[in-house]
Chain A
Amino acid sequence: MALSVWSVWSLITAGSAGAVAELTLDPKLKYWVLLPISIVMVLTGILRQYIMDLIAPNTKGVPRVKLTESQWIYKAQALLANGSNLSAEAFQLRKEHLIEVLAGGKYLVKLNTDGQAPSPLSDPNLSENMFSMAKGNLANFIPQTIIMWWVNHFFAGFVLMKLPFPLTPRFKEMLQSGVMTADLDVRWVSSISWYFISVLGLNPVYNLLLSDTESIDINAAQQPPTMGGPGEPQPEAVMKGLANDLTIAENESCFDDIEQRVLEKYS
């Protein structure tokens, strides 16, 4: 019983029944095949990262007139909310000026789309996004294909290394391509399988080589809020409404009778 348990255990740990045929590999294989493939793959990944950075779409800006427009709206809202902190005179001045600006539509962005919603397909930002996605896919795809061809072409037809874990015979065709042995254990694999393992496993390496963990990119996520997107109220209507609100706004300044209140408090 103990013996059978032991044999099952050794079968699990050794991974396959029976002894694995030991091959003696030329140690130069390590230095002239394994290392070059690894180095090329790491360098290609780094190069691809830099190319992706270069062809990445520029951070989208908002046109200045659009910003001016929304800033005026915020200014009116701020005056309505916090006007009590101003003296009556100052509030009156600001109020008159803002009413004039907002009701007159002085800083309103002139749109040349005659009230029509822009078609989502003709939006230049969107097409630019799709284009950059296609470029990103190409930048992923082309180097992979080239390296695979390179490995298959130059390093085919011999056993490169022994995997430390067993695989099912199903993998034999893929991982031992070009090795003409019918019943060699699947753990002995050719160079293309090192390529596959690298493709799967190099992400952590890239992360360690390329990322700067210390700095958190504050600027990346911040987009200035803008008014007048689809579904939002149009800035013209907002401005008109704010002008009306300002016209009827009553100002109760916190400075009214402030001397009296201070004297009462500290007397």
Chain B
Amino acid sequence: MSSIDEITSSDYVLGNKKSLLWVQDSTALVFGIGAGILQLESFKGFAMFVVGYLSVALLYIIWICRLQPAKYYQSPINDIFIESFVRELTGYVMAWTFSYALVG
């Protein structure tokens, strides 16, 4: 009986990660563009990224995972908070720099 719970479909594990990555990518870029338009500089910009990233992750857990991230991700903390942090940070910095230069 217990083995039923452990069966995972690798396709759906990947699919869940993909949908999370899509949410994180789009929000990171949007936050970056927003930070550039607001002309945020240095510390404020990075603070905006951290706040935005964390709140998007929390909203994802609350809204899309319905407070049960363990149901959809094998290691929720790592998958949702850590794995794509650097990727989103660089994407955010790019969008931020771009819109900062365009607007300023």
Which residues does chain A contribute within 8 Å of B36, judged by CB atoms?
164
A204, B25: Cβ atoms under 8 Å?
Answer: yes
Which residues does chain B contribute within 8 Å of A221, judged by CB atoms?
10-11
In whole angstroms, what is the CA distance A166 to B43 when docked? 9
Q: What's the nearest-Cβ distance from chain B to residue A189, in Å?
A: 9
26-78 of chain B: CB within 8 A of chain A: 26, 28-29, 35-36, 39-46
Question: What 0/1 pattern do residues 186 to 226 of A give for CB contact below 8 A with B?
Answer: 00000000100110111111011001010011101100000
Question: What 0/1 pattern do residues 1 to 31 of B give for CB contact below 8 A with A?
Answer: 0000000001110110011011011101100
With A13-B42, A164-B45 in contact, is A205–B102 under 8 Å at CB?
Answer: no
A216, B44: Cβ atoms under 8 Å?
Answer: no
B94, A15: Cβ atoms under 8 Å?
Answer: no
Q: How large is the interface on B (under 10, 10 to 19, 20 to 34, 35 or more residues)?
A: 35 or more
With A34-B98, A165-B42 in contact, is A216–B15 under 8 Å at CB?
Answer: yes
Among candidates B26, B88, B94, B104, residue contacting A202 with C-beta atoms closer than 8 Å: B94
A201, B101: Cβ atoms under 8 Å?
Answer: no
B22, A207: Cβ atoms under 8 Å?
Answer: yes
B45, A200: Cβ atoms under 8 Å?
Answer: no
Residue of B nearest to A202 (CB): B94
Which residues does chain B contribute within 8 Å of A14, judged by CB atoms?
41-42
A162, B101: Cβ atoms under 8 Å?
Answer: yes
B residues contacting A by CB (< 8 A) are 10-12, 14-15, 18-19, 21-22, 24-26, 28-29, 35-36, 39-46, 87-88, 90-98, 100-102, 104
A residues contacting B by CB (< 8 A) are 12-15, 30, 34, 38, 160-166, 194, 197-198, 200-205, 207-208, 211, 213, 216-218, 220-221
13 contacts between A and B (CB under 8 A): A12-B42, A13-B43, A38-B98, A163-B97, A163-B100, A197-B97, A200-B94, A201-B91, A201-B92, A204-B26, A205-B29, A216-B18, A221-B11
In the complex, the 4 A-B pairs of residues with the closest C-beta atoms, listed nearest first: A201-B94, A204-B25, A204-B91, A161-B101
